[in-house]
Amino acid sequence: MPIPALGSLLKNVSQKELRLRLLIAIPVFNERKTVAMVLDKVKHYWPDILVVDDGSTDGTCEILAGRRDIQLIHHASNQGYGCSLIDAFNYAYSHGYDWAITMDCDEQHEPESIPGFIGEINSDRWDLISGSRYLRSGPGDDMPPVDRRAINVEMTDLVNTLFGLHITDAFCGFKAHRLPQTLKLRLDEAGYAFPIQLWPRVAKYGLRMTEIPVQLIYNDPNRHFGGKLDDADYRLKHYLGVLQAEWEKICDVSPDEPVPCCGRPR
């Protein structure tokens, strides 16, 4: 009996089995003005979307409840940006997805960039694909708030120096995560300092990572973090504290140890 041709075999495999197992994960908190428009745009590029509503109180949850084209996690109260991402990773992995693209819902991450991430995912070279607003400048770029840019530069330089990375944007939330490798990092930073825990652990576990350029957009330069983090000095100290804690854990040094010990090249 002749062996069936490869084309014949592939016809028997369902389209679902052939399709990339990717989930777009979008944390939201009080995004009533933009959530519907952003979701509609994302749907144009990828059908599988998870929204993590982090205790919204402005009517966002009612808008989300009326949609039948998304998957939804609802936090009864605000748990934090990092917590929303961690919940998204766990959900995606438990539902059979291999990758999650994380993006914001305030129109500062363009859904038009999703195909660029998918192209890098399909190259099968990376465990983490991170958007960078500073990898390449463009004529349409906005000017970031001075304090945010200064803190980003300082924290990016420190992460690179301490852990041997070569990133250009420590805080961009537009990323693609290979889920099995991401879960091995055991991330537990619940707040906005989540990226400052992520990068040291990416270095420690040797995840293969790259950056791709994304548009630098600041629709609302006065947007608040909330609470004490609205003060730039306090925010920087908080990030430095998280980074110090990660360095001590990863390098197994005393808090007074002055020399970085676990840098590794990408």
Instruction: Read off the CATH number of the domain in which 200 is found.
Output: 3.90.550.10
Q: Is residue 266 part of a domain?
A: no
Evaluate whether residue 60 is within a structural domain. Answer: yes
Say how many C-beta atoms besides its own lie within 10 A of residue 225's C-beta: 16
Point out the least confidently predicted range of 88-97, 101-110, 113-122, 142-151. Answer: 142-151
Q: How many domains does the chain fold into? A: 1
Percentages (nearest 5) of helix, strand, coil residues in the chain = 40, 15, 45
Q: What is the pTM of this model?
A: 0.86
pLDDT of residue 151: 96
pLDDT for residue 260: 42
Report the percent of the chain where pLDDT is more than 70.
83
What integer pLDDT is reported at residue 215 of this predicted model? 86
pLDDT tens digit sequence for 177-198: 999 999 999 999 999 999 999 9
* C-beta atoms surrounding 106 within 10 Å: 19
Structure tokens at 65: 């409840």
Per DSSP, what are the bridge partners of residue 75? Answer: 54
- What DSSP element (H or E) covers 236? helix 232-251
* Residue 156 within any structural domain of the chain: yes
Q: Which residues constitute the domain of residue 140?
A: 19-218+230-251
For residues 7 and 99, the model is more confident at 99
Mean pLDDT of the chain: 87
**What is the structure's pLDDT at 9?**
38
**Considering the domain boundaries, does residue 160 fall inside one?**
yes
Q: Which DSSP category does 123 fall into?
A: H
Query: Per DSSP, which regions of 179-229 are E strands?
Result: 209-213
| Nearest alpha-carbon partner for 99 in 13, 190, 193, 25 | 25
How many CB atoms neighbour CB 92 within 10 A? 27
